[in-house]
Structure 1
Amino acid sequence: MSSRRRFLQNIGAGLIPFTLGFTPDSFGWSLGNIPEEKTLRVALMGLGSYANRVADAMKDAKRAKVVGVISGTPAKITDWQKRFSIPDKNCYNYENFDAIKDNGDIDAVYIITPNALHHEQCLRVAAAGKHVICEKPMAINAKEGQEMVDACEKAGVKLLIGYRMRFEANTLEIIKRREAGDFGDIKFFQGLSGFKIGDPNQWRLDPKLAGGGAMMDIGIYAINGTRYMVGEEPIWVTAQEVKTDPEKFKEGVDETITFQLGFESGVVASCLSTYSMGNLDRFFLNGTEGFAELQPATGYGPIRSATHKGRLDLPHETHQTTQMDEMAKIILDGKMPKVPVDGKDGVKDMKIIDAIYKAAASGTREEINLS
């Protein structure tokens, strides 16, 4: 049989079902049978500067969308409704947002409020049956963090922490190379995190709202970096606090803390957290066969990176866009991220922060138990 004849017969056979009234759907051939990727519909709680950054970044997200807002300022809600076409029924204040449980248009709430408010707000969102994304730090201590984890588990919803750097390309590439043995046995890590804080009246300098100072806001990046760059969990810490401006940095608000973390393998990390110095955004990982560096390491980008083999400087993508797309996959698809961002991992950071504060106050080495 000629190739031409076989071709015509195959075409004819393919047309028979359609002449008999069948459609591709009848045989499961339609693209309609391929499940569409769902979009994570998010309400933002707290409409400050960072919420604006997140919302603007989500305009480019493929799997996440801003569909609701929660705020104590009516004027902000009105403005956001215009900017993001948010209907009245998806707008709430801090008193009535429990009613979100009856809103089928919202899947998750991203809490971007002062640190001390996270705990109560998370518990209320979980009770309403919505997934929780909580900005870091997740709470003001490990006890509150664990209660948040427990509440979300009881409600059957996910709790994720806004650790944007755990999805950043340069960071993940260095982790990949460390795991491949490119740097040999890891021996040392340095994490420098700090900036000069401005307005003395902002909530970050109010211990009742912040639950601390620089450690909560910027030092947590050095803690994060130590854990995912070294690839181990610390078992002890020593710390020293310095305060040069007690009027600005009141009791309960740390200005500068240096801290040292130790690991079972013998690795030592030397870190700094401060609100009074700039040009401090650097991670340095050193091993027996090489090194890796990120500088800037945690800013909004672009992140600059290098190893002993040369520069990396992978292309910059807006961190919050990537974060929200990846978190949508975690919540909707059950995807497991390379570096955990769940509430249980957030509690580990809070345990370390608790230990750092204790070590700074006592002047002695404090043991860390993250199990």
Structure 2
Amino acid sequence: MKSRREFLQKLTIGAGVIPFALQYQPAFGREKEHTVPDGPVLRVALMGLGSYANRVAEAMQSCKRAKITGVISGTPSKITDWQKKYNIPAKNCYNYENFDAIKDNPDIDAVYIITPNSLHHPQCLRVAAAGKHVICEKPMAINAKQGKEMVEACEKAGVKLLIGYRMHFEANTLEVVRLRKAGEFGKIKFFQGLSGFKIGDPTQWRLNRELAGGGAMMDIGIYAINGSRYMIGEEPIWVTAQETKTDPVKFKVGVDETITFQLGFPSGATASCLSTYAVSYLDKFFLVGEGGFAEMQPSTGYGPIKSWTHKGRLDLPHVTHQTTQMEEMAAIILDGKQPIIPVDGKEGWKDMVIIDAIFAAVKSGKKVEIKY
């Protein structure tokens, strides 16, 4: 099976060096902005012990402020393996039927939900009801209604809801956002986001509408949606979209293979994006304004991210994304730190509103207003 995550890893490892004469030098001392201060440790239980959970767990071994203290899985053998590998006591291990008991476990502060998309909503509600903070993989749900209910449930319970937007803490991404805010590109006019790969095993959950809530758009198109928002620095107000399906057997009704979509923003800027399960090597962001541009390719893979502007190369030092993400999320939950690019539940909900509008535009063939 060739998953999105395997694709992202291979793409970034195999990315060639793009010739560029100049080497950009970031402003002195700016790296201090993202330093996580010493302090208490966030004790995390991982829910869903698949391939990405393994990646997160490995990355967390380098964290100073986030530690794996529990696991939740429907597969007993996985729990046993994780207990041995990460020295997790039996009292901190749960299955999907009994994990509500984390309410009485002081060893767990937060639960990181890394399960199929359609399970995020009910699992988030249960974790919130147990009084634990929620970290949820993207997409946060399968539609905006569910996303809103997740936000409200966590607010009612007095716990944080954070979404696994690892790119919001990545150095090159943050530098491009900083340059845009500083006016280095002038008035922003256009963004392009390309996200895609050829998906493998036709029986996997990502091609099951009931579990995934869709196809490529939910899985990888969300990178271009979210990227358009933080790169342009505005929320889109309308969308048009077109779907192409070449294999209706593999991509059944409700499971999109390829969708191209266009977004309009209040300033007049526009975005043109592609989400596909049919073409590999698509991982590119391009932002251009009246005074310059920024390009990233790979733009959302596991790294290193390759980036440059009209002034030269960026290519800031690579740190494992999941390590940085969990360190920063610990600071958000424990210290009240405010990230430069939000990762809260409302941020995730906005992406779901846009995805709902994209699907509506595909169905109607018309421009759809995006209503938050």
Q: 1:276 corresponds to which residue?
A: 278
Counterpart Cα distance in 1 of 2:366 and 2:208: 27
Give the match for residue 39 of structure 1: 41
Q: For residues 303-361 of structure 1, give each alpha carbon's deviation from its aligned partner in whole angstroms, at most 9, with x where no partner exists.
A: 00000000000000000000000000000000000000000111000000000000011
State the 4+ residue runs in structure 1 displaced beyond 2 angstroms.
none
Which residue of 2 is the match for residue 133 of structure 1?
A: 135
The question of 1:328 aligning with 2:326 is answered no
The structure with higher relative contact order (CA 8 Å, sep 6+) is: 2
Letter in 2 for 1:213: G
1:247 aligns with 2:283: no
Match of 1:96 in 2: 98
What are the within-5 Å matches in structure 2 for residues 194-205 of structure 1? Answer: 194-205=196-207
Which whole-Å deviations, capped at 9, do the CAs of 1:27-83 have from their partners, x for residues lacking one?
xxxxxxxx9610000000000000000000000011101110000000000000000
For each residue in 1:153-181, what CA deviation from the matched residue of structure 2 results, as whole angstroms up to 9, or x when unmatched? 00000000000000000000000000000
- Counterparts of 1:111-260 in structure 2 under 5 Å? 111-260=113-262
- Please list every run of 5 or more consecutive structure 1 residues that lacks an aligned counterpart in the other structure: 1-34
* Pairing 1:351–2:353 present: yes
Shift in Å, 1:369: 1.8
Larger radius of gyration: 1
**What is the Cα deviation at residue 298 of structure 1?**
0.2
C-alpha distance in structure 1 between counterparts of 2:306 and 2:65, whole Å? 27
Equivalent position of 1:85 in the other structure: 87
% identity of equivalent residues: 79
Q: What amino acid is aligned across from residue 59 of structure 2 in structure 1?
A: A
Distance in 1 of aligned mates of 2:63 and 2:311: 33
Work out the CA distance in 1 between the residues paired with 2:70 and 2:62: 17
Aligned to 1:262: 264
- Whole-angstrom distance in 1 between the partners of 2:230 and 2:134: 23
Q: Is the 8 A contact 2:264 2:270 kept in 1?
A: yes
Distance (Å, rounded) in 2 between the aligned partners of 1:166 and 1:190: 18
2:100 and 2:323 mapped to 1: Cα distance? 27
SS at match of 2:283: strand
* Counterpart contact for 2:251–2:257, Cα < 8 Å: yes
Q: 2:56 aligns with which of 54, 57, 67?
A: 54
Give me the whole-angstrom Cα distance separating, in 2, the residues matched to 1:314 and 1:369: 36
In the TM superposition, 1:286-305 aligns within 5 A as 286-305=288-307
After superposition, what is the alpha-carbon deviation per residue over 1:247-284, rounded to whole angstroms, capped at 9, x for unaligned?
A: 00111100000000001111010000001101100000
Q: Distance in 2 between matches of 1:363 and 1:179?
A: 35
Q: How many residues align?
A: 336
Distance 2:268 2:302 in 1: 32
Residues 9-34 of structure 1, C-alpha deviation per residue, up to 9 Å, x if partnerless? xxxxxxxxxxxxxxxxxxxxxxxxxx
Is the aligned partner of 1:105 residue 2:111? no
Alpha-carbon distance in 1 for matches of 2:182, 2:122:
42
Amino acid at match of 1:258: T
Q: Which amino acid aligns with 2:111?
A: V
Aligned-residue RMSD, C-alpha: 0.8
**Separation in 1, partners of 2:82, 2:227:** 34
Amino acid at match of 1:189: F
For 2:354, give the aligned amino acid.
I
Letter in 2 for 1:143: K
